[in-house]
Structure 1
Amino acid sequence: MIEQMAYNKEIGVRIPSILLPKEGIDMEKWSVVACDQYTSEPEYWQEVEKKVGDNPSTLYLTFPEIYLEDGNEAERIKRINNEMRRYINEGILVSQKPCMLLVDRSTSHTQSRKGLIISVDLEKYDYTVGSQTLIRATEGTVIERLPPRVKIRENATLELPHVMILIDDPNKTVVEPLANKLDSFEKVYDFELMMNGGHIKGYRIDDENTLDGILKAIEALADPEVFRAKYNVGDDKGVLLFAVGDGNHSLASAKAHWENVKKGLGEAEIENHPARFALVEIVNVHDDGIVFEPIHRVLFNIDSKSILNSMQDFYGSSCCSFEKFDSLESVNTRLRELKKEESVHSFGFVTEEGFGVFTVQTPKHNLEVATLQDFLDYIVKNNKESKVDYIHGEDVVTRLGSKPGNMGFYLPSMEKHDLFKTVILDGVLPRKTFSMGEAEEKRFYLECRKIVKD
């Protein structure tokens, strides 16, 4: 019966066959954080390598982005693909019967964040601007970031998700009811995550009644009439069921890979090919454990003494200004004052000379992050040595931004309850607008799924 209900085409959901490490594998060493974290902190990844050693680990099945510019991309990808095959052939990964997994994660910032591991149909997903598909990006996709990720998938036998997809379920009908019947589910993992990642538990859901209830609850969220009434929109707006919260470029890479694969397939093969689907964790945006944190910026390899003049030239000196302060606390106090003013965007900054606040009058964008990003893109485009990194945590911004030749920018957080309506009405947000929690709260690689035919 599960086989018959395994794929619900209307909502683009498939009940996946998941691979998990065999009994006896050290799960703390197995599970590592998403590859796009700590990209300016090599010491983090050095410590991860030290902890993992020669043990089976998702570290060896993924490509941490901090190593993308090391010049050994082809060799590293080949090693990743070899390890994937080895883990399957040697029985390190064990196939589970079709099921969903209920995930409960605690961190130093939240007691519980619950999610559901499912697979989604990439035919229902489009990351391009203006998309009206059921599954959509919430932020701009940087196409230049996709090729190395697609190259990893090219000959990969497995996918490992760090994608977190949001649902807008204020009545808590999909994930939350499952937490009330944990005793009826088999616990498949329960362990501490490394590097201050918190604790994670996973429960297998494979009984037909529960699975059917989950699918029906998701279907109800996708009802067009309910959708239009909920967001007060007309027929011109397509139903947005799943909004990509984390891992947008990972899902976009899966989509690009699938488009390449399906070119050589017949109609029947396209319908059920494993690469058509992507393993994700869906989370309710109304879950108390979901907190939207800002993603800050650090600009590297610039003349920090003249950068403020460059900003004034860019925005026009008549409509922008800056103030200097002696501490981040003073910066945040000033930003709270400025937040009350209309038609003003303000963000804090730090250089080797100290702290400050930059203010832009009558900005052309709705969000501070978009106003700042325009300038950063301009600087990087016109200065080949300069680059931008996207940073979680004010402390890291302060540490990196205060180094000679750097400048850090502090951005405000976005209200999570506005996300769906903003994306529906305004389209995708500027890239790296928000983060669901701090870096150590990001999804850790754990479950796997085959993306090639047996």
Structure 2
Amino acid sequence: MDSLSYFEKIGVKIPTVLLPKKDIDMTKWSVIACDQYTSEPEYWAKVESIVGDSPSALKLTFPEVYLESGNSEERITKINSTMEKYIKENILEAHGPCFIYVDRKTSHTPSRKGLIIAIDLEKYDYSPGSQSLIRATEGTVIERLPPRIKIREKASLELPHVMLLIDDPEKTVIEPLAEKADSFEKVYDFDLMMNSGHIKGYKIDDEETIGSILSALEKLADPDTFRKKYSVGTDKDVLLFAVGDGNHSLATAKAHWELIKNSCLPRELESHPARYALVEVVNVHDSGLTFEPIHRVVFNINPDELLDSMVSFYKDENCSYRKLSSMESILNELQALNSNKHSHAIGFCTNEGFGIIEVANPSRNLEVGTLQAFLDVYIKHNNDIKVDYIHGEDAVLKLGTQKQNIGFFLPKMSKHDLFKTVILDGVLPRKTFSMGEADEKRFYLECRKITR
């Protein structure tokens, strides 16, 4: 197997994966992605009580709920020292070089299959209009990167919550692994905390299976196949991996590498561990993968004033809103209005009740783009306002119906439209979709060294 040629063509590296040693409580070790439950500190308080003094990925990551707590420097220093401690005390054991086949069960799906690999950050570009092999699906907010880079710059380990998607309708890359999972060494098998399901992981280190995986990826990346598949010309370069989750985490890894490589000797560039990022790859056609909308909650506002401002903002697009009596009435109205493909309808809730916003002649393609364009301008002129991006209608109802808040309900997009939309139109508005509900998000589990 000529791994270098595969590396050059598809930007994949076979990583050395670090996993907790056998006597570690894996349920306490593995915690959900740091960008979840950011307006629910009670969730993270519960996680901390479950973990206690046990070794845990919680102590190696920075939940975003704490970003504004005022002790960021102290927390980052503690994260870095705990990483060194876990390495020195052999809390983590090396497996590999290998891939890890992942089978995740949640309360919403019996199985979602994934593959842990390392990708080459030289093949990834998050800038608008990018034609890179690995590409962002949503706009990257550059202002969100510096605090994340600060966390990574002295870190000895990375823990991925990044999920990349492949468009593999024939199911040639990941699905064949499920058929022979029993032949692989099982490296973990446990329940995830907070009723988030169950996860199994299998080590793949034999040359034949790895060769089959890389060969299947190479076929997906064939330029002629790509152009026929999407009916595009030579002006469109191959998109093999689309970022599904963790866009800003991967952008942080890229920005960190760009800083590091300036001090590398030419002979060090290819082998430096920070050039690569550990990710989970999922097939967009996996039956266990669903796309859910990411809703919005806006805090510290006068709801009626905000709604009137939106009507004024979109006066040329015939925007209006009306109040309704219940969540059920919102759902009924949305179903009726969304049958009209030319208009945009967005539900909302406040402490006074419910309602519908309708934009009859929208200039943007998606409802999320219509809402976000307005919110970006509105927030810019109101410094006390905060927006949070919420998974699940229940959380929107809980937060949006509190005084001086408003919650917005957005429709879901079809996962089958993702690749062609990104290829033809570029990145989507940020926070357009979520891969599953909040409790289905990737949990931190595997680690990889990113320093020499």
Contact 2:301 2:404 in 1 (8 A): yes
CA distance in 2, matches of 1:183, 1:405: 54
Q: Which residue of 2 aligns with 1:310?
A: 309
CA distance in 2, matches of 1:304, 1:62: 35
Contact 1:436 1:442 in 2 (8 A): yes
CA distance in 1, matches of 2:61, 2:6: 28
Contact 2:325 2:354 in 1 (8 A): yes
TM-score (norm 2): 0.99
CA distance in 1, matches of 2:107, 2:372: 30
Q: Which residue of 2 aligns with 1:290?
A: 289
Q: Which residue of 2 aligns with 1:144?
A: 143
CA distance in 2, matches of 1:363, 1:212: 48
CA distance in 1, matches of 2:97, 2:295: 40
How big is the shift at 1:49? 0.3
Matches within 5 A, 1:165-314: 165-314=164-313
Point out 4+ residue stretches in structure 1 off by more than 4 angstroms.
4-7
Q: Which residue of 1 aligns with 2:83?
A: 84
How big is the shift at 1:17? 0.2
How big is the shift at 1:266? 1.1
Q: Which residue of 2 aligns with 1:72?
A: 71
CA distance in 1, matches of 2:338, 2:380: 30
Q: Report the secondary structure of 1:115's partner residue.
A: strand
Q: Percent same amino acid among aligned pairs?
A: 67
TM-score (norm 1): 0.98
CA distance in 2, matches of 1:95, 1:27: 16
Unaligned ranges ≥5, structure 1: none
CA distance in 2, matches of 1:307, 1:97: 54
CA distance in 1, matches of 2:449, 2:426: 33
Contact 2:6 2:218 in 1 (8 A): no
CA distance in 1, matches of 2:266, 2:124: 19
CA distance in 1, matches of 2:65, 2:344: 32
How big is the shift at 1:119? 0.1
Cα 1:382–1:351 change in 2 (3 A) is same
Cα 1:79–1:318 change in 2 (3 A) is closer
Q: Kindly provide the amino acid, as one letter, of the partner of residue 403 in structure 1.
A: Q
Q: Report the secondary structure of 2:187's partner residue.
A: strand
Q: Which residue of 2 aligns with 1:404?
A: 403
Q: Kindly provide the amino acid, as one letter, of the partner of residue 34 in structure 1.
A: A
- 1:309-330 Cα shifts (integer Å, max 9, x gaps): 1111111177111121111111
Contact 1:304 1:404 in 2 (8 A): no
Q: Kindly provide the amino acid, as one letter, of the partner of residue 145 in structure 1.
A: R
Contact 1:300 1:407 in 2 (8 A): yes
Residue 104 (1) aligns with residue 103 (2)? yes
Contact 1:7 1:15 in 2 (8 A): no
- 1:186-243 Cα shifts (integer Å, max 9, x gaps): 0000000001110000000011000000000000000000000000000000100000
Contact 1:294 1:433 in 2 (8 A): yes
**What root-mean-square deviation, in Å, do the aligned CA atoms of Structure 1 and Structure 2 show?**
1.1
Q: Which residue of 2 aligns with 1:350?
A: 349
Unaligned ranges ≥5, structure 2: none
Q: Which residue of 1 aligns with 2:113?
A: 114
Q: Kindly provide the amino acid, as one letter, of the partner of residue 245 in structure 1.
A: G
Contact 1:6 1:15 in 2 (8 A): no
CA distance in 1, matches of 2:328, 2:89: 54
